[in-house]
Amino acid sequence: MNLLLDAFAWIFSPDRLAGSTPLPTAIGQHLAFTFGSVLIAALIAIPWGWAIGHTGRGRETAVFLSGAARALPALGVVALLLELIPVSYKTSAAVVAFVLLAIPSILAGAYSGFEAIDRTVIGAGRAVGMTERQILFTVEVPLGLSLLINGLRSATLQVVATVTIAAYFGLGGLGFYIMQGLANRDFVQILGASIIIIVLALLLDGLFALVARFAVPRTDGPRARRRTPISPTSVPAPTA
């Protein structure tokens, strides 16, 4: 219990605003790595996943590559890339590793969101003369948004935890305090930095929950009820 209290005291100590890497700077670096990597992964995985979900082709390849990417250890990938490219590009090496970590979840969310749509809805769209582009952006994308957001949510939580290893290569972030604490056997500092990472993960999880709540089309509620067609049986029969 004393260790936990000491960790919170460490977090809120004025000393965290000083030094070579102040705590706000470390948090900013951590979030920059997280959002930058997830954004790059999304730009790669979302169009790819939508193409798979819309056409139904390439799913097996995507599943294989996603599984292979999940199996790659992020620390090992960064270390390997640093061996292959100049040291001046170590930031890029770390970002590549984080992007590879984020792609599988986003890719799975993108194509599984399309696969979960009832095929009769797609068929109805084609029957009324909608083009493939219209079906993609007015039917499939909105209806598949829920699973896509879940994929982005999962990827972000994975990356925000893994970005800690960036400090192992001198790239900053909250992992700096953990590495420094390990070197100095300062368990209070290690726990304090870990608590901040957990809080960041919880805040990001809550943010995606809000996005999912407001971005995904609702099929219930007062608006939906007002738009519900009137059943023929509910119309009173004309009196003689």
pLDDT at residue 39, rounded to an integer? 97
Q: Which amino acid, residue 26?
A: A
Question: Which residue numbers in the chain have pLDDT < 70?
Answer: 1, 82, 87, 216-240
pLDDT at residue 2, rounded to an integer? 87
CATH of 2-12+23-218, one of 1.10.1530.10, 3.40.50.720, 1.10.3720.10, 1.10.10.10: 1.10.3720.10
Phi, psi of 25 (to 5 degrees): -65, -45
User: For the segment 110-164, what is each residue's pLDDT rounded down to a tens digit?
Assistant: 998 888 888 888 888 888 888 888 888 888 899 899 899 999 999 999 999 999 9
239: left (phi over 0), alpha (psi -120 to 50) or beta: beta
pTM: 0.84
Domain regions of the chain by residue span: 2-12+23-218
The DSSP-derived string for 106-166 is HHHHHHHHHHTS-HHHHHHHHHTT--HHHHIIIIIHHHTHHHHHHHHHHHHHHHHHHGGGG
